[in-house]
A and B are shown apart, each in its own frame.
Chain A
Amino acid sequence: MDFGPHLLLAMLEGLVQASVLTLTALGLSLVFGVMRVVNVAHGEFFMLGAVLAWWITFLVGGPPALAFIVALLVAPLLVGTIAAAADWLVLRRIDYDPERTIVATIGLLYIIQQLTLMSYGPDARPVAPPFNTRLALPWFEFGSGGVQIYWPWGLSITSYKLFVIFAALLTGLALWAVMARSRLGLILRATQQDRETAQAFGVPVERVYALVFGLGAALAALGATLVVPIQQAHYLMGGDPLLLSFIVVIIGGLGSLRGTVVAAILIGMSDGIISVFFSPTLAKMLATLLVAMVLVFRPQGLFGSKPA
């Protein structure tokens, strides 16, 4: 394949990754924004979503499309409930102290990971995509006879991958609508701005926190459910999404949802493109160092306005 079509292919793959990353990072960003705590177990909620999606499709059986739709609805709900319960049982009791929350969520990380290992096992398992038509894409070339359109071999995308991009877009818009237009969003924003004043105005802050923590985890689980037909479910799959979400949330500015979306698309795309053309280890290493440097020299992130 020539460079041009190859680049387009890398960008499409990058866009799929960026979609999933956007959902996962939005979850982390929401939790950080409203609750001011870092959830280190976020990657494990992602993994739990993928593993539950496998269980659900396995138990439902029947045509892949039906089983997948059930998984898409139930897996995030289950993960969200588990996360809300963890918040209620653990984080609420340590009063959301930032440092102790990190230690406690590290604990949660290992508990979820190891319980999955004990029940689900060490194997990676795929989920059948509900539909998977291969769509060939055209490419243009400026030859001697003007513009030519042809169909390079290998330049294609599946209908399922398009669906992932579309679903992420839809979820993002829905989240924006909730945050900006609904009464719930108003309560969330009030809690984010000033916890005590919100409480004084009758906002049940503790329940809001549990809800936000659950919602954040559910977003990660939704991203994971979307990704299992492309990438298999495995008990260690939470590490990369966690690190990438961290990076995205930092670059986007801690607590800014708009910045998170921009950064997720930027990083998901470049991660996809870089890993097609360069060694993934080197790319990851440079990206990690770069982000650490951003945090050192510009702690408010690239899009954040207030210092964190």
Chain B
Amino acid sequence: MSRAVGLHLGVIAALLALQFVLPAYHHGVLARVMVMAVFAMGYNVMFGYTGLLSLGHAMFFAAGMYGMGLAMKQWDVPLVPAFLLGIAAAFLLALVVGVLALRTAGVAFMIVTLMFSQSLFLAILHFGAITRGDEGFALARSLRQVAGLDLAAPATRYFAAWGLFSVVLLGTLALVRSRRGRVLVAIRENEERTRMLGYDVWRHKLMAVVVSGTICGAAGAAYGVLFGYVGASFSQVPYSIFPLLWVLLGGAGTVIGPFVGTLFMFYLIDLSSGLTDAYMLVVGVALVLLTLFLPRGLMGSLRDRGMKWLP
């Protein structure tokens, strides 16, 4: 077992152990952080490894969340198939958006993804009769049961979040260590040269968008199930910015970075909320300081300073 695999298994084991010792408040925060870290890990596949900066990932999160929530609320689909439907919705959306948006590059790509995401938000508002618009809707506790387990209870919720987190963490680790993953990195480093070496750049990029969108959809669906709320705010611009921030903070292009960034940012906002209600100020300052002084993030800087094996 290599150091890299050991480190990630160690993180997973530590999070499992923390379940039994954390006080109630931090227990709840960590469950939320793990789900959001899945969102960030999905974002990282595109941004960190393939070099595609999207400003519209809220749409995938929201597609997963609404796919799951509407299936349960409108058509009385049971939880597990509804969850899968949410993921399928995000997968389809990512496929369509990928095919269209990948015709552009650079700044145009960012703006196109931003606009597709904004259109989804406006569509959610427009079809308010079904989606309940701005207000969103809650999922009753009775709906959030699976195989006799109550997903609204703190302990099962933590386990469910941990399970999803572990699967995605090991999945992205396997992806970036695979041949396909290496091609993604090659595209990030030099697209022309990768094409010249005979790789189908467009197909690999599309794969990255679809994998990324699907993971983010899973995060959205899980968030809806575990915390019982589906709302339009999750499809708005800040939720496209958050994963970017978390990934940048933790270290783009590192497997563990998104989790570190999410954890760090959650507690930073938590601590600052004692000082001010305007928590987005902390987000703004963090973004500016990161681009200025720590462009490679926490884990990226560690990798630069000796931990070369960090995937």
CB under 8 Å from chain B, chain A span 91-147? 93-94, 98-100, 102-104, 106-115, 117-118
Find the B residue at minimum CB distance from A101: B291
Taking the complex as formed, is A291 at the interface, i.e. its CB lies under 8 A from any CB of chain B?
yes
For residue A120, give the distance in angstroms from its CB to the closest CB of chain B.
12
Q: Quick check: B292 and A94 within 8 Å, CB to CB?
A: yes
Selected interface stretch from A166-174, A222-230, A280-288 = A280-288
- Do A288 and B118 form a contact, CB below 8 Å, given A111-B284, A114-B284, A296-B103? yes
Taking the complex as formed, is A175 at the interface, i.e. its CB lies under 8 A from any CB of chain B?
no
Q: Which of B103, B106, B122, B248 has the most CB of A within 10 A?
A: B122
Selected interface stretch from B2-10, B145-153, B164-172, B275-283 = B275-283
List the A side residues contacting B290 at CB < 8 Å.
103, 107
Q: Quick check: A288 and B122 within 8 Å, CB to CB?
A: yes
Q: Quick check: B292 and A93 within 8 Å, CB to CB?
A: yes
A243 touches which one: B118, B248, B291 (CB < 8 A)?
A: B118
- Do A295 and B111 form a contact, CB below 8 Å, given A100-B291, A103-B291, A110-B281? yes
A292 touches which one: B55, B115, B123, B288 (CB < 8 A)?
A: B115
Q: Quick check: B111 and A110 within 8 Å, CB to CB?
A: no
What's the Cα separation between A192 and B122 when bound, in Å? 36
A111 touches which one: B107, B119, B281 (CB < 8 A)?
A: B281
Q: Quick check: A107 and B122 within 8 Å, CB to CB?
A: no
List the A side residues contacting B248 at CB < 8 Å.
103
CB under 8 Å from chain B, chain A span 56-111? 90, 93-94, 98-100, 102-104, 106-111
Q: Which of A104, A117, A292 has the most CB of B within 10 A?
A: A292
Q: Which of A114, A115, A299 has the most CB of B within 10 A?
A: A114
For residue A8, give the distance in angstroms from its CB to the closest CB of chain B.
29
Find the A residue at minimum CB distance from B103: A296
What's the Cα separation between A282 and B127 when bound, in Å? 10
List the B side residues contacting A284 at CB < 8 Å.
122
Q: Which of A93, A102, A239 has the most CB of B within 10 A?
A: A102
Q: Which of B100, B285, B292, B295 has the most CB of A within 10 A?
A: B292
For residue A126, give the distance in angstroms from its CB to the closest CB of chain B.
24
For residue B119, give the distance in angstroms from its CB to the closest CB of chain A.
5
Taking the complex as formed, is B126 at the interface, i.e. its CB lies under 8 A from any CB of chain A?
yes
Taking the complex as formed, is B110 at the interface, i.e. its CB lies under 8 A from any CB of chain A?
yes
Which residues from chain A sit less than 8 Å from chain B, CB to CB? 38, 90, 93-94, 98-100, 102-104, 106-115, 117-118, 239, 243, 246, 250, 279, 281-282, 284-285, 288-289, 291-293, 295-297, 299, 308
Lowest 7 A-B CB distances belong to which pairs?
A107-B287, A110-B284, A114-B281, A285-B122, A107-B288, A111-B284, A114-B278
